[in-house]
């Protein structure tokens, strides 16, 4: 059988895996990321007045050890802009700024963070970070790049989970094994959509090969996302740098190897299903003669179109289709083939209705449509996965001992034995492998998964993680800049029941986070730590594509804050960017120019490129120009005393601050040039607005 | 692979050291104000080592080519009707594939279809006697500059995967394209134009879309730019018509004023300065890019050389002439699609459709080779011709041919390629590559080799992986350069 073994594509390296029980070197065993999470003491610092919480003690002590001092706290308008763009992905409104700046209570900043965390805008922002990691897309990729009609449910699930501060442990369990652990829970049904995010080609007849590639993809991405370990290298050979053998790769892959895509999964539970069936029965009873006649016309063309798909299948798949008793693996491929055949049948059967029936067919369709008001609304379908049964397929690997069936297991350096598979309830037609993995990933003692997530949180707030390479805690990755802080935070995360919001609050209320980003005093900081790894200031960051688009729509007053549902088009819609369609074969849009991820790889950190193509999009692009026009209109509708005041509002909206005296003069001069011509004056306002949303101050976050 | 030792005395594979631009500025002592227009996207090249991602880099060994023009016949041209004559195919016309040939998996799933003979007239050409069919009478005149590789093979069976592989090395999406790797490895020779340009002769997009010239896990800095047909090749290149030059200039001036003040406040932030400069570069691109595609300064004779005076060849001729102009201006990697959207995919009416397609590219490609040669550009320009795969000797639907990734032909010319040779063979029906097989990874390794890059030394760290352009595989087809 072709392509059965992943090793088939690995032509360069040795084909035989060494024994995963091999001895590990002392160096490998003592590698930091594999050590148990320690319980470090909060360090003492010389300076006592700076710290707001324990984080600061860790940061300050390493600054002191390097003869560095932190930067003084940023001013309030900078803080609120930073925090709002961080948690909401939107700039603050002038009203919100005024409220915070004028709040004299000692905990004004803490209250601000609480307000921001309570808003649903938070989930819409932080979901993007997660969707990047899991390479979420609304389309299949490959040639046709077919839109996935139900993909958005997974996106909404992520937003909703974040807004409800679902414990991260539960969030992971639902995605890896929601169907096994919480079989009747709607959230969990949608969450298994995580296991459906791989690119798919409905026109690929070589199912075996496609399926292998898909399982590899799930394995690779899951290693990146949950373990912060680059498994991919070990697919073809023992990892060259990390203690991950090829066998370890297949042990990890075996957790997923029993799954199959499942479309017949609906939301609403038994009640909704019974209700649907009742309505359906009533509708069917009313229309039975029409439907029966239609069914009889449809039968042949449907079968003919399925046959077209069948004929494309290679003989080894056709053989599987003909079998009565299939192995689990054959069942997986047969399901795959069925999916393809039904896709073509659904799409094309009407074209195959013979001439003698075609007129009657359309008459019947019309007749049936007259009963549409009685037709039950479609059930809310989910793109889910389930295991193909209680018996897993083999996970085959070519080893020195011949072809070996690999049992699921964790990284051998952490646990060399086979994983003890959780026994599932008899009614659940599943292997239990994924719940076993999910439990291990969310175990208090897991040295990788917990640290990895805490490190991501840090990265999302500061722009880089305590471990810079947040998808790679391996030898080729970076060492933690503050290893004790990483462990302290990890313990805290577990103790706070994996609450993300608690961690956001803790990190954002630290003095470290509140530092200014501009160092006015001349000292050694730039020279001693040019990369700012020790965090002697807050780094300046460019908005990412979503922040930029959302910020523009926000300041122009156009933003539509409707939440959830099907994806929208980037240019036509004024909804938040999280709802913009993610097409794998996407085209060059404004957002793509600003480094949106490629939607095939797990993206742990966005690139920040600076290109003339971006400048062209911002200064010449019609979308941006339109925003400037809307911004000017929006300003024009605000009651003001004089032009100066209007300029001031424009600056406050766009930049979060009033213009300085010289800026005000420049802006006035810019507008003055056109004062006797209303048309030109209108244009000048548009241009001023356009300039403001092109400035570095708008695009960058201090 | 090169190694250095890190602070823990561990061997770590060598990568580009990322000296930050800020770091450099401080050491150079020039400060931000010292940067002129040439510092767009980074630093003036005269400053030497810096982190401008597009800075010219020396490569791994002496290059025989400075640039690449890749002529991509999308859909899969038929090698057995163009460069790989198979007399047995005509003898067995109408019969099924003999049992001695392994039945391949075909894309359309037709099993046991009869063999379809080739009605081409074949001749040996040039001093080398390279075989070319009557479908390419003009290209045939250049065989002594061409190395024809008859033994190419690929992994994909469907177009999108195969086009993706011919561009990125993998049938799955997510990897950088070959042009992106080249630009990453070598930098740009002209800051006012994109260093990787994609041209196409139809309104359709190559299957798989932008990822064919995308960067996958690498930053977008290295990506290809699709040139649109017409006088304005780059999207958003000019402001909309209703905005006058004076108005645009006034806006840019105010923007610059505000940005300079902001930069003074945020000194040491190199990225801010790069962004200010990117507007200047965009401004210069507005002049440079339309000039590069403005063919009005070309003589009628030159245009005729490319077939631009004939309806059938005008479209592809225009793209080929533009490719030459871009090559002259220092663009590293130009890719031209013929039949973008899979026109060469002749499942039915193979004879008629291929005749027209071949006619549309033959004279333009020959013209390009002639023009490059007479200008002295061919010696350091590598021209690559091919599709994502070839076609089957078995017929399909009676008069078509299905996909054949198991054995097909590509050719290369110029840029250090030893012309006048034919490399490798397929079996007697042209179904499988049988000797000196050249996988897509081998072809990519060879193209990179010509521009001075070693496919195993060219590395990019993504996640925790050291990624290489040919996925740790492939060998240079040495014969291409040694003859």
Please state the domain extents for chain A: 6-15+126-262+391-441, 268-379, 619-701
Q: Can you give the pLDDT at residue A230? A: 85
Q: What angle do helix axes A643-655 and A622-636 make, rounded to 10 degrees? A: 130
Give me the residue label for tokens 């020779």.
B189
Tell me the chain B residues in contact with residue A608 when contact means C-beta distances shorter than 8 Å. Answer: 271
Long-range CB pairs of B121-126 (<8 Å, 24+ gap) are B122/B85, B126/B420
* Chain B residues 94-133 within an 8 A CB cutoff of chain A: 105, 107-111
Average pLDDT (A34-61) is 96
Q: Can you give the pLDDT at residue B46? A: 30
| Residue A206, min C-alpha distance to chain B (Å) | 8
- Minimal-distance CA residue of chain B relative to A697: B262
Average pLDDT (A108-122) is 98
pLDDT at B16 over 60: no
In sign, the C-alpha dihedral spanning A50, A530, B457, A25 is negative
CB B205 within 8 A of CB B227: no
Tokens of residue B289, six digits: 């890019």
Tokens of residue A304, six digits: 């003919």
Whether B160 sits inside 8 A of A13 (CB atoms) is: no
pLDDT at A120 over 60: yes
Tokens of residue B396, six digits: 């399909």
Confidence tier at B21 by pLDDT (50, 70, 90): very low
- Minimal-distance CA residue of chain B relative to A651: B258
pLDDT digit string (tens) for B256-306? 999 998 988 887 677 788 888 888 888 888 888 999 999 999 999 999 999
Q: Can you give the pLDDT at residue A530? A: 81
Whether B465 sits inside 8 A of A617 (CB atoms) is: no
Average pLDDT (A43-49) is 93
Reference A316, options A306, A303, A326; nearest CA is A326
Q: Longest Cα pair distance anywhere in chain B, in angstroms?
A: 81
Task: Specify the DSSP element, H or E, that contains B157.
Answer: none
For residues A656-688, one letter each, b for 16 or more C-beta atoms within 10 angstroms of the residue's C-beta and e for the rest, the string is bbebeeebbebbeebbeebeeeeeebebbbbbb
Reference A535, options A559, A563, A507; nearest CA is A507
| Chain A interface, best mutation among B53, B165, B236, B265, by max A CB count within 10 A | B236
Rounded to whole angstroms, the Cα distance separating A659 from B387 reads: 58
Average pLDDT (A255-268) is 94
Tell me the chain B residues in contact with residue A612 when contact means C-beta distances shorter than 8 Å. Answer: 40-41, 278-279, 281-282, 285
Rounded to whole angstroms, the Cα distance separating A85 from A543 reads: 8
* Chain A residues 395-424 within an 8 A CB cutoff of chain B: none
Three-state secondary structure call for residue A616:
helix
Distances (CA, A) of A643 to A93, A557, A668, A671, A675: 20, 20, 8, 9, 11
Q: Can you give the pLDDT at residue B482? A: 95
Strand positions, DSSP E, B106-230: 122-125, 130-133, 146-153, 196-200, 225-226
Confidence tier at B152 by pLDDT (50, 70, 90): very high
Contact B12/A at CB under 8 A: yes
Query: What proportion of chain B, given as a percentage, has pLDDT over 70?
Result: 89
Q: In this complex, which of A527, A688, A696 lies closest to B259 when CB atoms are compared?
A: A696
Q: In this complex, which of B108, B220, B272 lies closest to A611 when CB atoms are compared?
A: B220
Residue-averaged pLDDT of chain A: 92
Q: What angle do helix axes A449-462 and A500-508 make, rounded to 10 degrees? A: 40
Give me the residue label for tokens 């590509």.
B410
Using CB atoms within 10 Å of the CB of residue B4, give its burial: 0 to 12 exposed, 13 to 18 middle, 19+ buried.
exposed
Tokens of residue A452, six digits: 């990895």
Rounded to whole angstroms, the Cα distance separating B247 from A620 reads: 12
pLDDT digit string (tens) for A584-600? 887 668 898 899 998 98
Rounded to whole angstroms, the Cα distance separating B114 from B99 reads: 13
Distances (CA, A) of A519 to A79, A86, A526, A572, B441: 16, 21, 9, 42, 50
pLDDT digit string (tens) for B59-77? 999 999 999 999 999 999 9
Task: Specify the DSSP element, H or E, that contains A450.
Answer: helix A449-462
Q: Can you give the pLDDT at residue A220? A: 94
- What DSSP letter does each residue of B273-322 carry, written as one string? HHHHHHHHHHHHHHHHHHHHH-GGGS-HHHHHHTTTTSHHHHHHHHHHHH
Lowest mean pLDDT among A44-48, A508-512, B50-54, B190-194: B50-54
CB A269 within 8 A of CB A186: yes
pLDDT at A5 over 50: no
- What DSSP letter does each residue of A39-66 carry, written as one string? -PPPPP-S--SS-SSHHHHHHHHHHHHT
What count of residues does chain A have? 702
Strands B67-73 and B381-386 come out as parallel
pLDDT at A419 over 50: yes
Phi-psi region of B143 (alpha: psi -120 to 50; beta: other; left: phi over 0): alpha
Q: In this complex, which of A11, A585, A697 lies closest to B208 when CB atoms are compared?
A: A585
| Residue B354, min C-alpha distance to chain A (Å) | 23
Average pLDDT (A360-385) is 94
Local structure of residue B229 (DSSP, 8 states): S
Neighbours of A321 (CB within 10 A): 15
- Minimal-distance CA residue of chain A relative to B26: A527
pLDDT at A18 over 50: no
Contact A610/B at CB under 8 A: yes
**End-to-end Cα distance, chain A:** 58
CB A344 within 8 A of CB A352: no
Contact A204/B at CB under 8 A: yes
CB B390 within 8 A of CB B86: no
What count of residues does chain B have? 483
Q: Which residues pair with B394 in a beta bridge?
A: B115
Question: Against a cut of 0.95, is the pTM above it?
Answer: no
Q: What angle do helix axes B440-450 and B178-186 make, rounded to 10 degrees? A: 30
pLDDT at B25 over 80: no
Average pLDDT (A33-47) is 95
| B67-231+294-482 under CATH 3.40.50.720, yes or no | no
Confidence tier at A477 by pLDDT (50, 70, 90): confident
pLDDT at A259 over 80: yes
* Chain B residues 172-211 within an 8 A CB cutoff of chain A: 172-174, 207-211
Q: Can you give the pLDDT at residue B94? A: 94
Give me the residue label for tokens 């810079």.
A468
Using CB atoms within 10 Å of the CB of residue A427, give its burial: 0 to 12 exposed, 13 to 18 middle, 19+ buried.
exposed
Lowest mean pLDDT among A51-65, A617-631, B5-19: B5-19
Strands A396-399 and B421-423 come out as unpaired
Confidence tier at A684 by pLDDT (50, 70, 90): very high
Q: Can you give the pLDDT at residue B268? A: 64
Whether A696 sits inside 8 A of B276 (CB atoms) is: yes
Confidence tier at A22 by pLDDT (50, 70, 90): low
- Torsion, Cα B69 B356 B153 B208, to 10 degrees, reads 70
Neighbours of B244 (CB within 10 A): 11
pLDDT at B102 over 80: yes
pLDDT digit string (tens) for A148-158? 989 999 999 99
Residue-averaged pLDDT of chain B: 87
Local structure of residue B391 (DSSP, 8 states): E
Confidence tier at B11 by pLDDT (50, 70, 90): very low
Q: Can you give the pLDDT at residue B109? A: 75
Q: Can you give the pLDDT at residue A13? A: 36
CB A166 within 8 A of CB A631: no
Q: Can you give the pLDDT at residue A522? A: 65
Q: Longest Cα pair distance anywhere in chain A, in angstroms?
A: 93
Rounded to whole angstroms, the Cα distance separating A405 from A5 reads: 12
| Residue B12, min C-alpha distance to chain A (Å) | 7
Confidence tier at B309 by pLDDT (50, 70, 90): very high
pLDDT at A33 over 60: yes
Rounded to whole angstroms, the Cα distance separating A659 from A98 reads: 15
CB A357 within 8 A of CB A244: no
How big is the A-B interface in CB pairs under 8 Å?
Answer: 221
pLDDT at A101 over 60: yes
pLDDT at A463 over 50: yes
Reference A597, options A586, A197, A87, A541; nearest CA is A586
**End-to-end Cα distance, chain B:** 28
pLDDT at A90 over 90: yes
């Amino acid at each position: 059988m072709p392509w059965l073994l992943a090793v088939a594509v690995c032509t360069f390296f040795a084909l035989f895996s060494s024994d995963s029980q091999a001895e590990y070197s002392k160096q490998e065993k003592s590698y930091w990321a594999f050590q148990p999470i320690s319980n470090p003491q909060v360090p003492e610092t010389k300076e006592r007045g700076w710290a707001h919480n324990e984080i600061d003690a860790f940061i300050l002590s390493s600054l002191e050890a390097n003869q560095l001092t932190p930067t003084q706290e940023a001013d309030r308008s900078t803080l609120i802009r930073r925090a709002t763009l961080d948690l909401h992905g939107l700039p603050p409104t002038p009203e919100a700024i005024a409220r915070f700046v004028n709040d004299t209570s000692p905990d004004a900043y803490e209250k601000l963070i609480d307000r921001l965390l309570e808003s649903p805008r938070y989930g819409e922002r932080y979901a993007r970070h997660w969707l990047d990691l899991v390479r979420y897309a609304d389309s299949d990729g490959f040639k046709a790049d077919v839109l996935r009609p139900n993909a958005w449910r997974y996106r909404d699930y992520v937003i909703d989970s974040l807004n409800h501060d679902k414990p991260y442990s539960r969030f992971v369990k639902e995605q890896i094994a929601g169907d096994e652990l919480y079989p009747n829970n709607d959230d969990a049904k949608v969450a298994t959509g995580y296991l459906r995010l791989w690119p798919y080609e409905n026109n690929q007849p070589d199912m075996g090969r496609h399926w292998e590639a898909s399982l590899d993809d799930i394995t690779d991405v899951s290693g990146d996302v949950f373990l912060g370990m680059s498994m991919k290298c070990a697919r073809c050979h023992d990892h060259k740098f990390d203690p991950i053998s090829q066998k370890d790769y297949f042990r990890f892959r075996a957790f997923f190897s029993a799954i199959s895509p499942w479309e017949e999964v609906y939301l609403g539970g038994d009640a909704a299903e019974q209700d649907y069936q009742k309505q359906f029965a009533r509708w069917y009873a009313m229309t039975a003669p029409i439907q029966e006649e239609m069914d009889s016309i449809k039968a042949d063309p449907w079968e003919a179109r399925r046959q077209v798909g069948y004929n494309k299948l290679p003989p080894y798949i056709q053989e599987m289709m003909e079998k009565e008793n299939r192995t689990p693996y054959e069942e997986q491929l047969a399901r795959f083939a069925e999916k393809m055949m039904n896709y073509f049948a659904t799409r094309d059967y009407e074209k195959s209705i013979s001439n003698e029936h075609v007129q009657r067919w359309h008459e019947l369709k019309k007749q049936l449509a007259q009963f549409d008001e009685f037709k039950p609304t479609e059930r809310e379908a989910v793109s889910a996965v389930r295991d193909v049964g209680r018996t897993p397929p083999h996970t085959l690997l070519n080893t020195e001992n011949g072809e070996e069936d690999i049992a699921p297991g964790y990284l051998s350096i952490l646990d060399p034995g086979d994983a003890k598979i959780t026994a599932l309830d008899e009614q659940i037609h599943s292997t239990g492998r994924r719940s076993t993995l999910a439990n291990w990933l969310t175990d208090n003692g897991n040295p990788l998964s917990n640290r990895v997530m805490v490190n991501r949180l840090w990265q999302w707030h500061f722009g880089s993680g305590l471990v810079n390479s947040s998808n790679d805690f391996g030898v080729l990755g970076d060492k933690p800049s503050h290893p004790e802080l990483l462990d302290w935070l990890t313990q805290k995360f577990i103790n706070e029941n994996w609450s993300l919001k608690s961690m956001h609050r803790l990190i954002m209320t630290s003095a470290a986070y509140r530092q200014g980003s501009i160092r006015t005093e001349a000292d050694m900081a730039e020279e001693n730590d040019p990369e700012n790894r020790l965090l002697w200031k807050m780094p300046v960051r460019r908005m990412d594509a979503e922040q930029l688009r959302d910020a523009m729509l926000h300041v122009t007053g156009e933003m539509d804050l409707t939440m959830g549902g099907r994806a929208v088009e980037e240019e036509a819609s004024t909804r938040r960017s999280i709802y913009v369609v993610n097409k794998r074969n996407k085209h060059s849009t404004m957002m793509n120019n600003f480094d949106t991820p490629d939607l095939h790889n797990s993206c742990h950190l966005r690139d920040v490129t600076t290109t003339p193509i971006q400048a062209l999009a911002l200064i010449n692009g019609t979308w941006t120009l339109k925003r400037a026009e809307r911004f000017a209109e929006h300003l024009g509708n605000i009651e003001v005393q004089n032009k100066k005041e209007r300029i001031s509002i424009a600056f406050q909206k766009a930049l979060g601050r009033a213009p300085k005296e010289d800026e005000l003069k420049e802006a006035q001069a810019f507008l003055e040039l056109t004062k006797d011509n209303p048309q030109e004056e209108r244009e000048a306002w548009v241009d001023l607005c356009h300039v403001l949303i092109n400035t570095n101050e708008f695009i960058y976050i201090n | 692979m090169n190694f250095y030792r890190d602070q823990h005395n561990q061997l770590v594979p060598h990568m580009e050291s990322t000296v930050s631009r800020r770091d450099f500025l401080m050491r150079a002592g020039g400060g931000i104000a010292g940067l002129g227009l040439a510092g767009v996207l980074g630093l003036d090249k005269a400053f030497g080592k810096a982190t401008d991602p597009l800075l010219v880099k020396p490569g791994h060994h002496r290059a025989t080519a400075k640039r690449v023009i890749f002529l991509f016949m999308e859909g899969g041209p038929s090698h057995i009707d163009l460069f790989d004559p198979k007399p047995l195919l005509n003898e067995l016309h109408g019969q099924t594939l003999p049992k001695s040939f392994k039945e391949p998996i075909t894309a359309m799933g037709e099993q046991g279809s009869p063999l379809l003979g080739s009605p081409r007239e074949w001749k040996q050409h040039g001093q080398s006697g390279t075989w070319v069919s009557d479908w390419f009478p003009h290209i045939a005149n250049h065989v002594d500059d061409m190395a024809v590789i008859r033994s190419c093979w690929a992994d994909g069976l469907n177009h999108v995967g195969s086009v993706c592989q011919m561009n990125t090395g993998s049938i799955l999406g997510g990897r950088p394209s070959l042009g992106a790797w080249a630009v990453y490895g070598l930098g740009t020779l002209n800051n006012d134009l994109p260093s990787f340009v994609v041209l196409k002769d139809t309104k359709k997009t190559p299957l798989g879309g932008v990822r064919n010239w995308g960067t996958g896990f690498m930053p977008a800095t290295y990506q290809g730019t699709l040139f649109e047909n017409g006088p304005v090749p780059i999207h958003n290149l000019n402001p909309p018509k209703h905005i006058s030059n004076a108005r645009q200039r006034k806006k840019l001036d105010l923007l610059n004023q505000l940005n300079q003040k902001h930069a003074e406040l945020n000194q040491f932030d190199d990225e801010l300065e790069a962004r200010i400069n990117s507007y200047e570069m965009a401004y210069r691109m507005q002049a440079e890019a339309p000039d590069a595609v403005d063919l009005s300064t070309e003589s009628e004779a030159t245009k005729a050389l490319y077939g631009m005076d004939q309806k059938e060849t005008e479209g592809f001729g225009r793209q080929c002439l533009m490719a030459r102009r871009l090559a002259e201006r220092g663009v590293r990697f130009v890719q031209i699609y013929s039949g973008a959207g899979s026109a060469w995919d002749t499942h039915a009416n193979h004879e008629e459709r291929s005749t027209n397609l071949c006619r549309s590219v033959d004279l333009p490609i020959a013209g390009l080779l002639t023009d490059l040669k007479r200008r002295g550009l061919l010696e350091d320009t590598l021209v690559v011709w091919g599709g994502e795969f070839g076609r089957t000797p078995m017929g399909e639907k009676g008069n078509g041919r299905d996909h054949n990734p198991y054995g097909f032909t590509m050719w290369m010319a110029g840029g250090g390629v030893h012309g006048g040779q034919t490399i490798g063979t397929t079996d007697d029906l042209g179904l499988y590559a049988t000797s000196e097989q050249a996988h897509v990874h081998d072809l990519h390794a060879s193209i990179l080799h010509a521009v001075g890059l070693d496919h195993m030394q060219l590395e990019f760290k993504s996640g925790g992986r050291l990624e290489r352009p040919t996925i740790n595989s492939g060998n240079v087809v040495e014969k291409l350069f040694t003859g």
